[in-house]
Structure formats: structure tokens, C-alpha cells
Amino acid sequence: MKKVTSILSGALTTLLTIILLVTVAAVVTTQVSDGEPSLFGYQIKTVLSGSMEPGIDTGSVILVRAVDESGVYQVGDVVTFQTYEGPLVTHRIHEVTDGGQSYITKGDNNPLPDTQVLEPSMVVGEYTGMTIPYLGHVFSFVSSDVGVIFLFIIPGFLLVLYSLYTIVRALREVDRLSKEQQQTVSSSHQE
């Protein structure tokens, strides 16, 4: 029974430590990159609307390959671009215009093409086809101030509580062994 408890204790400590480290890494990466984590030229983007459903659901995380301004795209390519209004949008190239110098985009779930003409310099990434549903909700939460506090405090607090529990348990074990040793010494002196 002690061995099982010891294994579970070690596993729980390891799990809490991993959760804390992963949370710290995710928060730091997200905050340093202004909410846009990037690795080896690929960026992680959160889908905030249903314009590309059912292929890309709201709240999904997609992987886009970062591109430069000289990118050439074809009808059917899915790109993430900066709108004139500011937010990033991920839509499919619906039409190539001006001999490849501009594009008309459309969300798969939208009845009409976008009114804004897309210039290659506005494209920030090309969709790789990798989608992780619902993870975007987690990323949005992690990026928020409340999420940062919540995700640092809860795992850290649990780790501290578990450490205190382990220390108290170890002290009780030392006390028990000390009492047993004293009893053994007392009984050997009485003989």
C-alpha cells in the first residue's frame, strides 16, 4: 500500500509541476508574441467567427505558415490577412484579379464574397490545413489578464498545498519512527 501511495504521490507531484511549467510557457509565449505564438515560421491563430464553418469552427486554433508580401495565391487557397479595419481574417481566395495583383476572398459559410479587395501585402499567413477545435477558447482565456492570474495561481497554489501535505506527512512519519525507536530502546533497557 505504501508503494502505491508513493507512486501516486510522485505522479501527482510530477503532473502538477508539468501543468505549472506548461502554463507558464504558454502564458509567456503568448504575452511575448502579443497573443500570436510563432514557431519555425508557423503561427498559431485563433478563429473568432463562423465564416469558415463547417471546415474551421469558431474557437478553433489553426496553424498558418507565415508569408512575405511577394506571395502568389490561387483560387481555393485559404489565407489569413489583415483587414483595413484591423482584425485578422481567415478566408478562402474566391477570385484572382488584376493579373494576380489582388484577390477577392470569401468565407466558406458566407453567402457573398468579401467587399474588401485583398492585396498580397495584407496576407500574413497561409492556412496549412491543421485545425484543433475548441483550443482557441483556451488560448483566448490564457491571453486575458484573468486567465494569466488564474492559470498561475491555481496550479501554483495546488503545488504548494501538496508540498505542505507531503512535508506534514513526512514529519509524522519521522515522529512515528522516533517514538518506535524510543520504545525499542526503553524495552531493551528494561530487560
Residues 148, 135, single domain; the answer is no
Residues 114, 66, single domain; the answer is yes
In a domain, 82, yes or no: yes
In a domain, 83, yes or no: yes
Look at 108-112, 143-147, 165-169 and tell me which has the smallest mean pLDDT: 143-147
Residues 77, 149, single domain; the answer is no
Residues 46, 130, single domain; the answer is yes
In a domain, 149, yes or no: yes
In a domain, 190, yes or no: no
Residues 7, 77, single domain; the answer is no
- pLDDT for 38 beyond 70: no
C-alpha distances out from residue 57 to 22, 53, 62, 87, 99, Å: 25, 5, 10, 18, 32
pLDDT digits (tens, 9 = 90+) for 46-99: 888 888 888 888 888 888 887 766 667 889 989 988 888 878 888 999 998 887
In a domain, 87, yes or no: yes
Residues 87, 24, single domain; the answer is no
Residues 66, 134, single domain; the answer is yes
Q: Which of 16-30, 136-150, 158-172 has the highest mean pLDDT?
A: 158-172
Please state, in angstroms and rounded to a whole number, the distance separating the CA atoms of residues 12 and 159: 9
In a domain, 73, yes or no: yes
- Total domains present in the chain: 2
Residues 53, 126, single domain; the answer is yes
**pLDDT bracket for residue 153 (50, 70, 90):** confident
pTM of the model as a whole: 0.59
CB neighbourhood size of 35 (10 A): 16
Stretch 105-125: mean pLDDT, rounded?
89
Of residues 121 and 69, more confidence is placed in 121
| Domain membership of residue 105 as a residue range | 35-140
In a domain, 191, yes or no: no
Residues 136, 148, single domain; the answer is no
Q: Which residues are identified as catalytic?
A: 49
Cis peptide before 54 (omega within 30 of 0): yes
What's the CATH code of the domain at 79? 2.10.109.10
In a domain, 70, yes or no: yes
Q: What is the dihedral of CA 137, 140, 141, 146, to 10 degrees?
A: -160
Residues 104, 127, single domain; the answer is yes
Residues 125, 149, single domain; the answer is no
CB 123 within 8 A of CB 66: no
Residues 47, 136, single domain; the answer is yes
